[in-house]
Structure 1
């Protein structure tokens, strides 16, 4: 379960992490009224669960009523990376001198939670980790004992945080770990954690993802999940309707497969060959033609997708049924919206290859070749 920013900030504030004064609004008039109560300048922030909102036009800083109305009118109802914006957070602007990053997640390699601090806040932390890994200080925590105060202090000082705010940042990091542990979170972070001229720290953004299987222990979070359903991604709603295991990602190579392990392998190969996966979509075992057609309809509906790789290994699922589904889906288009690469293996794969309309798809014998071709197609269409 992914909390919206306003929901995560509510949890953070209740735990003692400083957050800007803010109100949720769903109409232009509500935005203006909230801004008047809070006091200008304010930030108007689209409440959708996707990164890069600012660059996509989903966050605006305004100084008066006229600017607030214009920004609210532009953001409310907009399509932001395929997500409908139904509400915005109206938030007091923070006059900051520095931006930091603090977060907690699970280190699968170490088998322990890891707390992280960086002075390079306000930017994509994944890019920082890839381009300058030493810019992120990390400390692994034994979950049996929790985070000790000295561990938080060590991470803060190792990151190079200014001494004037080091204690405050360490306190925020410790609180984040406690929330991560108490709320069964999978990821929790503040990016950016802003430092003001008065050496105060303020959580200007908030991310909190919770293990779905643990929600029965947290009635407050279950209520937030129900509240957030109104802003559900249209594709996720469609996945529920079709009965697919589906996760939307931020890349441009659409992925369809039968079986979670097979789909995960395909995602890894897309990344290995320099591409970026757009989704995880498992059509399951024994998929018939109609189910395959529905899967293609879903992936084609994602505006971020530039190519699609279909990876089917037949066991219960029959290659000829998959081929029929692909043909049926694609033959309905006057022009194929995305280029599709197909790899079929296993039960009735040869029959499927004979059925496939190769005027509509590209067929590759191996998974590696199929993924490479899909990545090439995606790069050509950018």
Structure 2
């Protein structure tokens, strides 16, 4: 979850990281009651990058100019997002600009300090100009000084930047962040350092450990209800796609791999859910099996879903309970799924989607045997160990369902014609 700039700078200010005098603007008329002096910079508060090129960052000299400019920015979409808030900030005369960041390297499983004597670059872009230091042990000021030395800084400037890096790291740990970025860190003619723009990315898995962040996340989701399934995606990550094969998997990688496999096999992947983690708006603790049960019902309630493809790889919590959840699901009455429909209507079908289950890993040996015993006269559910086989079966079943539906509709039309 990425914070908006004004939220980032509130956190920076609390940590003692130098930021410019600024004021949140909720309406253009707020500019009549400014507590900062002109000239100032008005900034659109959206998540999109490159606001300057899009016209979302403007310098203004007077109140009249500021109100007119603010009105324009409020009505300016940047990559489809309209700002609900602007940031009014003092103008700063920078002589030099640097780049600083702390990022969680998931490959190393360690925080990495990044620094460059040039600004407006991407931390993911490799290059000789970007300096880095891996925090291999308990953090100390040594790591911050080492980064500034590698950047070629000296004297008072080295000390100032080093102090900022230490405070960035404190914020990084305190708030469970994936990224803290200052781009740029400006230096004026007298050597004073100042943050002109910043970015913070919160680790979504840690949001519920911080009530104030959970509240921010809930408000953010509430303001951006662009998806019709926003109301039911309240427990985990998901992707809304209009297709016939719903997907449940235990990890982002598994979800994306399954999506690609279904598409490459000629199928149409539908709504896909990652059961591994709670979604960022979740305020109550849930177990993996809780999410599995709800995920199955959500997909079954979607009339476009003909087949549910489960792909579990490696290991999951409580394998025995997982089997029981699936066993209970295949026995439920479809009419019980009303509460899982986004519009609250009744399901238009009297049967559940076909179920194909791929379980890979020694932990699933007993589960595979048990689930295989649940198969009915139509050999449902289908339990396999190979993903390609599971995907082919799911795609074939979806096509068969489509043919059967077409035949049924033709039969109804002929019957209606006779009458």
Task: Give the TM-score, by structure 1 length.
Answer: 0.65
Choose from 128, 134, 150 the match for 1:140.
Answer: 134
1:240 aligns to what SS in structure 2? coil
Change (3 A) 1:161 1:171: same
Report if aligned partners of 1:20, 1:92 keep a CA contact under 8 Å in 2.
yes
1:241 aligns to what SS in structure 2? coil
1:134 aligns to what SS in structure 2? coil
CA distance in 2, matches of 1:121, 1:205: 11
1:109 aligns to what SS in structure 2? coil
1:282 aligns to what SS in structure 2? strand
Change (3 A) 1:52 1:356: farther
Residues 51-60 or 186-195, more deviating: 51-60
Partner of 2:381: none
Offset at 1:173?
0.7
Change (3 A) 1:345 1:219: closer
Partner of 1:233: 224
1:122 aligns to what SS in structure 2? coil
**Deviation string, structure 1 residues 160-203 (Cα, Å, up to 9, x no partner):** 33645111111111110111112211211111111111111111
Partner of 2:204: 212
The 5 Å alignment of 1:79-118 reads: 79-118=77-116
Partner of 1:350: 396
Specify the structure having the higher radius of gyration (Cα).
Answer: 2
Partner of 1:315: 356
Partner of 2:158: 166
2:231 aligns to what SS in structure 1? helix
Matched residues, number: 285
Report if aligned partners of 1:9, 1:206 keep a CA contact under 8 Å in 2.
yes
Report if aligned partners of 2:239, 2:272 keep a CA contact under 8 Å in 1.
no
CA distance in 1, matches of 2:5, 2:239: 19
Partner of 1:282: 272
Partner of 2:5: 5
The 5 Å alignment of 1:163-312 reads: 163-226=155-218, 228=220, 232-235=223-226, 238-243=228-233, 245-246=237-238, 259=249, 260-265=252-257, 282-283=272-273, 287=299, 290=303
CA distance in 1, matches of 2:178, 2:393: 38
Task: Give the TM-score, by structure 2 length.
Answer: 0.60
Change (3 A) 1:224 1:149: same
Report if aligned partners of 1:43, 1:61 keep a CA contact under 8 Å in 2.
yes
Report if aligned partners of 2:356, 2:394 keep a CA contact under 8 Å in 1.
no
2:153 aligns to what SS in structure 1? coil
Give structure 1 stretches of 5+ with no counterpart: 249-255, 270-280, 294-313, 318-343, 358-382
Deviation beyond 6 Å, 4+ runs, structure 1: 266-269, 354-357
Offset at 1:266?
7.8
Higher relative contact order (CA 8 A, sep 6+): 1
Report if aligned partners of 1:20, 1:204 keep a CA contact under 8 Å in 2.
yes
The 5 Å alignment of 1:146-157 reads: 146=139, 148-157=140-149
CA distance in 1, matches of 2:209, 2:11: 16
**Deviation string, structure 1 residues 47-106 (Cα, Å, up to 9, x no partner):** 122222222222112222333123211111432212221110111111101111111111
Partner of 1:28: 28
RMSD: 3.4
